[in-house]
Structure 1
Amino acid sequence: MANVITGDCCCGEVAFTIEDNFSKFFFCYCEQCRKLTGSAHASNLFTSPDNIKWLKGADKVKRYDHVERSFSKSFCTECGSGLPFLSQNGKALIVPAGILNAEPSKVVDAQIFCAEQADWHQVGITINKESGFPK
């Protein structure tokens, strides 16, 4: 039996459990993932569609599906945290890695759509690393 990981949104209104049984893990640099996350890339884990148990707040989950392309995002209506969602074709549950409260055992398989990686991110990963805000 796989280890069970909890996840919850920033405000705590939505919570779930999920088995640490992920088939794929990608960092995606495409323009859509950058816009959906507001960051340099999405960090998405893929698992079976039924691998989630909502503990609370399922009524606070809002879903956005792009009308012309096959990408989506689910988020907490209170705090905006990204949440797991079923792919549009229904074949996978996509889980934003940052929403989990423990490290998944799955390591990153690939960085995808790297041609769309923002220049500022390419520069940013080479500069000084700090444990908190710089002094």
Structure 2
Amino acid sequence: MVKGECSCGKVTYEIKQELSDVYICHCSLCRRSTGSGGIAVAVAPKEKFKWLKGEEDIKYWAMPGHDWHTNFCSTCGSTLPAENDSSSIYVPVGTLISGFESLKVAHHIWVASKANWEEICDSGKQHAEGIGS
């Protein structure tokens, strides 16, 4: 079982499955939404994910003209898990409070648009765009 929460603790969630692979997205949307070099996420099946509390405190923002959105806590601003396809939840691994011990970076995606100041120094497979590129 994996559990996570926002910085202020108002929003909590659980995943009834272990997570293993971390995907780091380096696209400009993820950089701007996090204020960093990108976002590190794990992917969980939608049916294994459950909000425990604070769902009413979640705000949603969608990029106009794109099939991309982000969830965040309305109190502390922490990036929260979100659906960006019909079957999966993308879980920011920085919000995990348990179940993260076996996580490893497996993939770096949208590397072609990463910030020029960022160096990738781990063994995760690098993809110029999404997985498959």
Structure-1-length-normalised TM-score: 0.79
Contact persistence 2:81–2:91 (CA under 8 A): yes
Q: Where does structure 1 differ by over 6 angstroms across 4 or more consecutive aligned residues? A: none
Measure how far apart 1:81 and its partner are: 0.4
SS of the equivalent of 2:33 reads helix
Taking the aligned partners of 1:56 and 1:16, their CA distance within structure 2 comes to 7
Report what 2:130 is aligned to.
none
Instruction: State which of 107, 112, 118 in structure 2 corresponds to 1:115.
Output: 112
Taking the aligned partners of 2:7 and 2:25, their CA distance within structure 1 comes to 22
Q: Does 1:61 align with 2:58?
A: yes
Measure how far apart 1:105 and its partner are: 2.9
Gaps of 5+ in 2: 122-133
Q: Considering fraction of residues, name the structure with more strand.
A: 2
Deviations 1:10-63 (A, max 9, x none): 111111111343475311111111011111011011111122222210100111
Taking the aligned partners of 2:67 and 2:18, their CA distance within structure 1 comes to 24
Larger Rg: 1
Taking the aligned partners of 2:97 and 2:38, their CA distance within structure 1 comes to 20
* Pairing 1:85-96 to 2, within 5 Å after superposition: 85-87=82-84, 89-96=85-92
Measure how far apart 1:106 and its partner are: 4.1
Report what 1:80 is aligned to.
77
Distance 1:23 1:49, change over 3 A: farther
Report what 1:17 is aligned to.
14
Percent identical among aligned pairs is 31
Work out the number of aligned pairs and report it: 120
Gaps of 5+ in 1: 126-135
Distance 1:98 1:121, change over 3 A: same
Contact persistence 2:61–2:69 (CA under 8 A): yes
SS of the equivalent of 1:122 reads coil
Aligned residue type for 1:41: G
Aligned residue type for 2:67: S
